[in-house]
Amino acid sequence: MPLIALCLWVVLAWLLQIVLTAKQSWPAAYGLIALGLPLVAWLGLSLGWPWALLGVAVMALVLRWPVIYLGRWIRGKVK
């Protein structure tokens, strides 16, 4: 069941990408992140940590710009 939820999350992200404008995409990304965190926990608890890592990888591929900005922010804090 958690894998089906992950697939539905990907479909929702795809639909939001098609429907929303660029100005609306960041709030949608925050919402997808808020939905994705419990989903990753559910994957980890139900199927094990390798599946949770797979879920994180899928979500990072879908939400690549928030991940890029997070990496830049962390790099700036470290330097």
Q: Where are the domains of the chain?
A: 49-74
- In sequence order, the 6+-apart residues with CB closer than 8 A to the CB of 42 are 2, 5
CA distance 9 to 15: 10
CA distance 26 to 39: 20
Confidence of residue 78 (pLDDT cuts 50, 70, 90): very high
pTM of the model: 0.83
* Tokens matching residue 70: 């997070």
- In tens, the pLDDT along 10-47 reads 999 999 989 988 788 888 999 999 999 999 999 999 99
